[in-house]
Amino acid sequence: MGICRIDQPSKSNFGYYVRIRWRGVIYAKFFSDKKHGGVDGAWAAAEAYFNELDAKMPPDSKIGMLSSRNNSGIVGVSRAEGIKRNSPYAHWQAWWTAGGKTKTACFSIRKYGEEEAKRLAVEARKRWEAEYFLDHPQNP
């Protein structure tokens, strides 16, 4: 995916080919040297087209996508219940991946109450997203 040079003397075909696959769709366009005033012009047109597509198509990732198992309506935030020290335990948790490892922040419903625990989990997730996107800027 990206920009590649095409030189086919047998077909008098010279130029740059842009190809990007995004969410299952392939976007492709050829920029001939002849039509764009030479090698440099074809490269400039191909690069401009590539950058235009790239700006419209953020990298595919699971960030920002709800799982079918999501019970909060917010990506990376869920309510969980279990047994802890032989007692029922319920909490809201935020989760994310950092350095290839899953991280969580849990907020007890007993300690904070249902709404506050959820709010704290949402806040923790949003803090991580803000940090992540500072380190991994995307074009709008």
pLDDT score of 140 more than 90? no
Which tops the pLDDT comparison, 115 or 59?
115
> 109: helix, coil or strand?
helix
- How many CB atoms within 10 Å of residue 71? 11
pLDDT score of 139 more than 50? no
Instruction: Flag whether 140 is in a domain.
Output: no
Give pLDDT tens digits for 36-94: 999 999 999 999 998 888 777 766 555 556 566 666 777 788 888 888 788 888 999 98
Instruction: Flag whether 125 is in a domain.
Output: yes
Q: Are 89 and 81 in contact (CB under 8 A)?
A: yes
Q: Domain residues for 48?
A: 2-56
Instruction: Flag whether 62 is in a domain.
Output: no
> 44: helix, coil or strand?
helix
Has this prediction a pTM greater than 0.75?
Answer: no
Check residue 135 and give its pLDDT.
63
Are residue 96 and residue 125 in the same domain, yes or no?
yes
Are residue 130 and residue 96 in the same domain, yes or no?
yes
Provide, rounded to the nearest whole percent, the portion of the chain with pLDDT above 90.
Answer: 38
Instruction: Flag whether 121 is in a domain.
Output: yes
CA separation for the pair 74, 66 (Å, rounded): 7
Q: Give the least confident one: 11-25, 56-70, 119-133.
A: 56-70
Are residue 42 and residue 82 in the same domain, yes or no?
no
Q: Are 60 and 41 in contact (CB under 8 A)?
A: no
The structure tokens 């976007």 sit at 27
Which long-range contacts does 19-26 make (Cβ < 8 Å, 24+ apart)? 20/50, 20/53, 20/54, 20/57, 22/53, 22/57, 22/60, 23/57, 23/60
Span 7-23, mean pLDDT? 87
Domain count along the chain: 2
Are residue 49 and residue 6 in the same domain, yes or no?
yes
